[in-house]
Amino acid sequence: MTRTLIRGGLVVTAAEETHADVLIENGRVAALAAHGSAFGATWTADRTFDATGKYVIPGGVDAHTHMEFPFGGTASSDTFETGTRAAAWGGTTTIVDFAVQKKGHGLREGLDAYYAKADGVCAIDYAFHMIMSDVHEGSLKEMDLLVAEGITSFKLFMAYPGVFYSDDGQILRAMQRSAANGGLMMMHAENGIAIDVLVEQALAQGRTDPRYHGEVRKALLEAEATHRAIQLARVAEAPLYVVHVSAEEAVTELARARDMGLPVYGETCPQYLFLSTDNLAEPDFHGAKYVCSTPLRPREHQAALWRALRTDDLQVVSTDHCPFCFTGQKELGRGDFSKIPNGMPGVENRMDLLHQGVVDGHISRRRWIDIACAAPARMFGLYPKKGTIAPGADADIVIYDPHAEHVLSAETHHMNVDYSAYEGRRVTGRVETVLSRGEPVIGRGQYTGRAGHGQYVPRGTCQYH
């Protein structure tokens, strides 16, 4: 039995902050004891970490990543191996990625392909949501089976007609099914039919630069789709989780629903909190690095997103990590912004950027841990195994130095992508040590984990309502 001890740190969870030592046995948290207590003084261990002056926090739970994701004739550049290793570097110890149903195919087939991709290569633990791109009688039946096997959330798209898109009838049917089987519907809320009209008109007028991606994917069309998704969920009496919320107008829709007491939840991503349409307008096609959907918004939206995180109108910050290299992938859209693969890298940067939100006074330390660890774990049926530090929980723990500064850069990051969306940005706070089920995977500036340490985690249903 391996015993590990973390002494001297400030343990921060979503619920409390305590000056405590943490004892780990067999990959799980065995006990916590106040610094200097008689109880803790008796502990011995095979391995001891000194966390004096540091935070001891739960490993991050990134509930929205896309490794090896097929998009626009290419695939996102991080594999499950490289992407989970980069996540570990950034203090994230669990990802929930998206298995994809192909049109004309079943859920099972899509899911099995993703089980196979991730099997034996991940550095940290992982789970799956299921993207439904073909809602029909057969796939609705398959939903029930997937919920029973631990795939308890399903993403639908109101965007991308002809690819992932579902119409309102399909959405309503899937929501009704989820209301019956306990699944949680996740929605990409943008009016893709209207957006495609605007895309066609922009291109016809010679507006081909990356910044037009932001102009045609209007905030109003995100808000409209968010509103429609909420009403459909009410009709179906189903809970709803809206992914990658970027527009203040969409937040307003979520806040109104939540004020009515509806089980409606929202996620935003670091790129919407830190970047803006200014980035999309960078010259020489560099704006393509920031093309993702929903798109980056004018800077003014950032304050509304931070506020919503404080007021719990948004509950989760995940990354939508979906990296495409600038060279060879983003470049597919030179001369036509609609051909730029949609997505940005970020799985390695999330914990640091959100800690910067603490430093900048946007959120409290405990709220940082809530939106990055506890809330995503509860939302997706992983709590308290993941997302907290408590007896019985997996010992997925980060020792975080809140004072160390560092600069985010493609030169030093570990994601398999040739640029950083945060190039040159200085942040205060840094991951020092990362344990995954008690095993050190990052420490002293080295990766000490291994491909295949990460295990698949079947999930329970949403614990949020």
Residues that bind Zn ion (CB under 5 A): 188, 320, 322
Whichever of 292 and 442 has its CB closer to ligand DUC, that residue is 292
**Judged by CB, which is closer to Zn ion: 20, or 131?**
131
112 vs 129: CA distance, rounded Å: 12
Q: Of 91, 62, 90, 66, which is closest to residue 77 (Cα–Cα)?
A: 66
Partner whose footprint covers residue 242, from ligand DUC, Zn ion, none (CB < 5 to 8 Å by kind): none
Residue 84 interacting partner from Zn ion, ligand DUC, none (CB closer than 5 to 8 Å by kind): none
Q: To the nearest whole angstrom, how small is the minimum distance from the Cβ of residue 324 to ligand DUC?
A: 9
In the bound state with ligand DUC, the residue whose beta carbon lies nearer, of 97 and 313, is 97
Closest CA to 348 of 431, 452, 282: 431
- The option from ligand DUC, Zn ion, none interacting with 319 (CB < 5 to 8 A, set by class) reads none
Q: Are strands 125-131 and 92-100 parallel, antiparallel or unpaired?
A: parallel
What tokens appear for 230 in the block?
């909420």
54 binds, among Zn ion, ligand DUC, none (CB under 5 to 8 A by kind): none
CB nearer to ligand DUC: give 188 or 227: 188
According to DSSP, the residues that pair with 21 across neighbouring strands are 33
Bridge pairing between strands 125-131 and 17-25: unpaired
Which is nearer to ligand DUC, 165 or 383 (by Cβ)? Answer: 165
Q: Cα(265)–Cα(274) distance, rounded to whole angstroms?
A: 21
268 half-sphere exposure, CB direction, 13 A CA radius: 32
Nearest distance from C-beta of residue 344 to ligand DUC, angstroms: 7
Least separation in angstroms between CB 293 and Zn ion: 6
Give 55 or 98: the residue with its C-beta nearer to ligand DUC.
Answer: 98
Q: Which residues pair with 7 in a beta bridge?
A: 50
The smaller minimum CB distance to ligand DUC, of residues 301 and 437, is found at 301
Shortest spacing between CB 321 and Zn ion, in angstroms = 8
**Shortest Å, Cβ 271 to Zn ion:** 10
Shortest Cβ 380–ligand DUC spacing (Å)? 18
Interacting partner of 255 out of ligand DUC, Zn ion, none (Cβ under 5 to 8 A depending on kind):
none
Beta carbon of residue 291, minimum distance to ligand DUC (angstroms, whole number): 8
Residues that bind ligand DUC (CB under 6 A): 66, 71, 188, 292-293, 320, 322, 342-343
Burial class (CB in 10 A: 0-12, 13-18, 19+), 215: middle
Sheet containing strand 92-100, strands side by side: 60-65, 92-100, 125-131, 153-157, 184-188, 240-242, 264-268, 316-317
Per-residue HEC secondary structure of 113-159 comes to: HHHHHHCCCCCCEEEEEEECCCCCHHHHHHHHHHHHHCCCEEEEECC
Give the contacts of 306 (CB within 8 A, at least 6 positions apart): 273, 357, 362, 363
What gap in Å lies between CA 366 and CA 370, rounded to an integer? 6
In the list ligand DUC, Zn ion, none, the entry touching 71 (Cβ below 5 to 8 angstroms by class) is ligand DUC
Instruction: Kindly tell me which of 188 and 217 has the beta carbon lying closer to Zn ion.
Output: 188
Minimum Å gap between C-beta 377 and Zn ion is: 19
Q: Beta strand 17-25 with 10-12: parallel, antiparallel or unpaired?
A: antiparallel
Q: Which is nearer to ligand DUC, 21 or 320 (CB)?
A: 320
Find out whether 431 and 398 touch, Cβ atoms under 8 Å: yes
For the CB of residue 213, give the shortest distance to ligand DUC in the complex, in Å. 10
CA atoms within 13 A of residue 266's CA, in its CB half-sphere: 33
